[in-house]
């Protein structure tokens, strides 16, 4: 049983960001600091990827474990209104899989970063560096 009214729950759910979450901003900032350059949320690509490295033909999705149905300790399916939420989360996961497949078919390499990986940020950044390859050389413009 939800302790909030329907209006209160709706108001809280509206506050959850689909883009630019704190975790996404942290990952993007760290990747940028390493010297990689990317575009954000490209609408012409399936799934509007969070980070697009066009010259490398690589994409990174930064997913929340709850919303995208990641099978980890952060996924706790709601007990109230489960007839709505369970199919919604399964549909999100299926849509994500379709987007990844479509991107791979068109020559993109795809990495999914999960919110639960924030606990070991150093390992996450090493995984991203391995995925992206050598960062570009920095040129001194002075």
Q: Could you state, in order of their start, the residue ranges of all structural domains in the chain?
A: 18-132
Q: Distance between CA 50 and CA 12 in Å, rounded?
A: 24
Q: Distance between CA 15 and CA 93 in Å, rounded?
A: 22
Angle at which helices 22-33 and 121-132 cross, to 10°: 50
What is the Cβ-side half-sphere exposure of residue 89, based on CA atoms within 13 angstroms?
A: 19
pLDDT digits (tens, 9 = 90+) for 65-95: 888 889 888 777 777 778 888 899 999 999 9
Tokens of 112: 């999914």
Q: Name the β-bridge partners of 58.
A: 53, 109
Would you state the pLDDT for residue 95? 97
Would you state the pLDDT for residue 84? 85
Question: Which homologous superfamily is 18-132 in?
Answer: VSR Endonuclease (3.40.960.10)
- Beginning with the edge strand found earlier in the chain, give each strand of the sheet holding 109-114 in spatial order: 51-53, 58-63, 109-114
Q: Is 110 left (phi over 0), alpha (psi -120 to 50) or beta?
A: beta
Tens place of pLDDT per residue across the chain (142 aa) = 567 676 776 666 665 656 678 999 999 999 999 999 999 999 999 999 999 999 999 999 999 988 888 988 877 777 777 888 889 999 999 999 999 999 999 999 999 999 999 999 999 999 999 999 988 776 655 5
Q: Distance between CA 89 and CA 21 in Å, rounded?
A: 19
Would you state the pLDDT for residue 18? 60
Would you state the pLDDT for residue 74? 73
Would you state the pLDDT for residue 38? 97
Would you state the pLDDT for residue 117? 94
């Amino acid at each position: 049983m939800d302790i909030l009214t329907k209006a209160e729950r709706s108001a809280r759910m509206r506050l959850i960001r689909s883009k630019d979450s704190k975790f996404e901003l942290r990952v993007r900032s760290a990747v940028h600091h390493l010297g990689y350059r990317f575009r954000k949320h490209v609408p012409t690509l399936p799934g509007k990827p969070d980070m697009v490295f066009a010259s490398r033909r690589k994409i990174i999705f930064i997913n929340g474990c709850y919303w995208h149905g990641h099978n980890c300790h952060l996924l706790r399916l709601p007990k109230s209104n489960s007839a709505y939420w369970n199919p919604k989360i399964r549909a999100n996961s299926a849509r994500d899989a379709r987007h990844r497949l479509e991107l791979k078919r068109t020559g993109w390499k795809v990495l999914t970063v999960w919110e639960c990986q924030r606990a070991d940020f150093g390992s996450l950044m090493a995984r991203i560096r391995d995925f992206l390859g050598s960062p570009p050389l920095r040129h001194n413009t002075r």
